[in-house]
A and B are shown apart, each in its own frame.
Chain A
Amino acid sequence: MTTTSDSGRRPATATPLLRQQVLVLYLANSALDSHVVGWSQYDGAGHTSPTTGDGDEPPYESGLAALQDGWRLIQASQLIPPYPGHEYDVSFLKHEFFFEQIVDIQREPGVGSR
């Protein structure tokens, strides 16, 4: 006998319920193995609720360390030349890298496919 999922549409034991978890790392330069200067996390599985100012230590020391732990890189900042006349302006962080992992929310939290 199968049970139904929380959506009521899928058999829970047959089809995984996949959700995306997102990790954003801000790095010291454009190299993926440079060190982390900032970070954000968003949990589509609802296991955690990361928010602004919730920690002083980054989850990884570099972008490469996140790859080695199984996170998949899905987007990296482009290198864009400064606009003429604004070469000395400072604004947003430049080296932003988005990672994802996919988790099955029917399994134990933290057990997912990255």
Chain B
Amino acid sequence: MENRKVLLASVQMARFVARGSLRLDAVVPEQMNAEALTALAAGVPPVPYGTPLSQAYAKNSFVRRLLELPQVAGALHSLVGPEPTVDHHAVHVREPHGGQAQPLHGDAIIDVRPDAFDVQLMYYPQAVTLDMGGTLSVPGSHLRRINESDTGRYQNLRGQDRLVCPAGTVAFLHHGLWHGGRRNDSDTVRHMFKIRFNPAVRQLRLWNTSDLDDPQVIRELDATFPWYEPATGRLERYNRVLLWRALTGDDRFDIDYWVTRVSNRPKEAAI
């Protein structure tokens, strides 16, 4: 796929590192959203685990065209690089007034890679209102070490994100982000299409780094969220610094000395 790509800026990447997600509102054109409801209802042929992206979806297929949209392709490249592999995909349907909310969970199994991550693309072809039970996610939860639905006891967290979005919205989630489909209390069937991507290259400066020194980068990385206990929130920043160091290759990067201070073990004897 060598179509035009709109790469993310450093400020957007920093926001992803802090929040664990990136949202592109109404990025898919209206006519494709209308087409999606039919295409997704018909089912998307399965793809073997680990299929390179260029081989996963037929040319001119709906999914291929979705992934070739410049903003979608650029975000995907920025996050996991060129030619990622497709882990799996799924069409999620929430029936009206049916089913139950999913327990809050992280997908797959506990995954503590410090210097690599998968992303999950979530595409919403129709406008999602609050009572349609859009995806619940918890900003800044992606670096927490938990296994799948062990977090099911948590019903609500301050600052949680109950998705409400316009048609054609695409979100990218870090693999560790806590999320769950909410109960659909509306009269409308809700659709969501998800693809998980694995990187095939080292995730090192894959985005447009021309604004790497923008002060907003640090402000984004330093974000706190209302559900954090203040003490653990400091550890969140510590872990974000380590991830940003891995993504930029700058092993001296820090925020407010959080990592530097506790790594300082001088070896030189006093004279």
Chain A residues proximal to chain B, CB less than 8 Å: 24, 26-29, 36-41, 50-56, 58, 88-95
Secondary structure call for the B interface: loop
Indicate which residue in B153, B230, B235 contacts A40 across the interface (CB closer than 8 Å). B153
Interface flags, B201-224, vs A, CB<8A=1, else 0: 000000000000000000000000
For A56, list chain B residues within 8 Å (CB).
156, 158, 160, 162
Instruction: Identify 28 residue pairs between A and B in the complex whose beta-carbon atoms are under 8 Å apart, listed by A's number.
Output: A26-B154, A36-B158, A37-B157, A37-B158, A38-B156, A38-B227, A40-B155, A41-B155, A51-B100, A52-B103, A52-B156, A52-B182, A52-B183, A53-B101, A53-B104, A53-B155, A53-B180, A54-B101, A54-B182, A56-B160, A88-B238, A88-B239, A90-B235, A91-B144, A91-B145, A92-B144, A92-B146, A94-B229
Assuming the contacts A90-B232, A90-B236, asked whether A50 and B146 have C-beta atoms less than 8 A apart, the reply is no
Are the CB atoms of B229 and A58 closer together than 8 Å? no
A95 touches B151 (CB 8 A): no
Contacts of B238 in A (CB 8 A): 88
Going nearest first, the 9 A-B pairs with the smallest beta carbon separation are A53-B136, A40-B155, A52-B101, A38-B157, A51-B101, A53-B182, A91-B145, A37-B227, A90-B144
* Bound form: Cα–Cα A88–B236 in Å: 8
Q: Tell me, in angstroms, the Cα distance from A36 to B154 when the chains sit together.
A: 13
Closest to A41 in B: B155
Contact mask B87-111 → A, CB, 8 Å, 1/0? 0000000000000111110000000
Q: What residues of B have a CB within 8 angstroms of the CB of A39 in the complex?
A: 155-156
CA distance A50 to B228 in the complex (A): 22
Asked if B8 is at the interface of the complex by the 8 Å CB criterion, the answer is no
Contact residues in A for B243 (Cβ distance below 8 Å): none
Given A26-B227, A37-B157, A40-B153, 13 other A-B residues pairs in contact with their CB atoms under 8 A:
A26-B154, A26-B157, A29-B230, A37-B158, A39-B155, A50-B155, A52-B154, A53-B156, A54-B156, A56-B162, A90-B143, A90-B235, A91-B144
Nearest-Cβ distance from residue A74 to partner chain B, whole angstroms: 15
Chain A residues with Cβ below 8 Å from B182 are 52-54
With the chains together, A55 CA to B150 CA distance in Å?
A: 21
Q: Which residues of B contact A53 (CB under 8 A)?
A: 101, 104, 136, 155-156, 160, 162, 180, 182-183
Q: Which residue of B lies closest to A37 (CB)?
A: B227
Across the interface, do B155 and A51 meet the contact criterion of CB distance under 8 Å?
yes
Of the listed residues A27, A39, A51, the one surrounded by the most CB atoms of chain B closer than 10 A to its CB is A51
The residue in A26, A28, A52 that gathers the most chain B C-beta atoms within 10 A of its C-beta is A52
Q: Which residue of A lies closest to B162 (CB)?
A: A53
What residues of chain A lie closer than 8 Å to B183, measured between beta carbons? 51-54
Q: Per-position contact with A for B56-98: 1 when CB-CB < 8 Å, else 0? A: 0000000000000000000000000000000000000000000
**Chain B 119-138 interface mask (CB, 8 Å, partner A; 1/0):** 00000000000000000100
Which residues of chain B are near A29, meaning CB under 8 Å? 229-231
